[in-house]
Structure 1
């Protein structure tokens, strides 16, 4: 099934000025997510929800439609689920009746996401019943082993105390929640108090595609990886 994917990109970013249209590997950041979505087998249409005219222009230039987001849904402290609900309300034909689609959100801050990651998430949502699905990636650190807290005396302690483990193999595997892709049931999104309160499924994204842009350092890494993609089979060698 070809579905509609949404990208939520408000103006006024703080960490990186004009982050969603900052040029990365030759084109605006948001353009990478639009291109990846349209290259997937699961998506035939991309809608960008934004309150910003420059983001809207970039979205249209790179093949997306635009949903004007009211300023009330685009504040610095506004939870993104509010914008999700606005999008669902704006396209009721997608989420009602016999041809109901899953709700798909593809954050613009994940430019390394591959089309197959989107397809894997949609397929996983369809075959492993849940209310919403998050993308996750293997964590580099583990609170049972090598993540610590600092006490009032400046001394460090294992974040989850009581473990005698000295090797990664001895502790439960941990994952980071990535911003690559979210797939969910529109009715659940409209009614839940918190996204994590229901049945939350997952799809695993490899670390080389799980970068989330939040700082200028992340922008630098993204540019390098988009220009010189990491090849797991070649162990990263050019």
Structure 2
């Protein structure tokens, strides 16, 4: 497996980062190898994973030979190709997680922790990933994922419209709210990082099957690329980050 360069910390566990990148994106065609700030989108996920001290290897699961070639060029391991039936628009990614674990553990032995590092959050950092691993290792979770504060609030700004064309708040607060600040704080799940033990993934069928815990990351780190507008926003924020770096 691809070992992280410059990792001076002794790795006592086999913690493997998996990057799931299928070739059939519809919202932003070819997004996983589309350049953003001079590097393919997938390369940002690979770099974040490789620079996380706890991670011992980075594996990419893809059905697309072009993505596999790019992933290898940027330092990831691509030891298998994902079957087409696990890479369709409606294929549950959970099953791709299972397939990847089966392939890697059958070939190379047990994995202590599974870490998913999605390509779609290129502003997520290695520090964000490390915090998720550290939170998992507190011992009270089956799965840890990343969240950001939600901009829309179901107690104040999110509505449903009934059959009579009448709007209703999605969640009714216990008391009347005079401002958004009085509404209960809510969060949005973002695809920054997921951490779980392989056994939990193999024995269950989704993230809500066990005890979930969260790590809040900065809002800009959670920008999730699903549309061309998302891509433009991520590129703008990434350029700003580069400009802010010293030297």
**How far did residue 23 of structure 1 move?**
1.3
What is the DSSP-based 3-state SS (H/G/I as helix, E as strand, rest coil) of the residue aligned with 1:68?
Answer: coil
Q: In the TM superposition, what are the counterparts of 1:1-238 in structure 2 within 5 Å? A: 1=11, 3-66=15-78, 67-92=80-105, 96=110, 100-163=111-174, 164-229=176-241
Q: Deviations over 1:40-93 (max 9, x none)?
A: 212232111000011001101111011311112112211001110011111227
CA distance in 2, matches of 1:209, 1:171: 24
Distance 1:22 1:49 in 2: 17
Conserved 8 A contact 2:19-2:58:
yes
Distance of 1:130 and 1:161 partners within structure 2: 30
For the residues of structure 2 that align with 1:184 and 1:36, how far apart are their CA atoms? 18
Quote the Cα distance in structure 1 between the aligned partners of 2:220 and 2:64: 30
Q: Provide the alpha-carbon RMSD of the alignment.
A: 2.0
* Cα deviation, residue 194, structure 1: 2.5
User: How far 1:202 moved relative to its partner?
Assistant: 1.1
Q: Deviations over 1:126-181 (max 9, x none)?
A: 01421111111111111011111223454422111355112233222100001000
Tell me the matched-pair count: 229
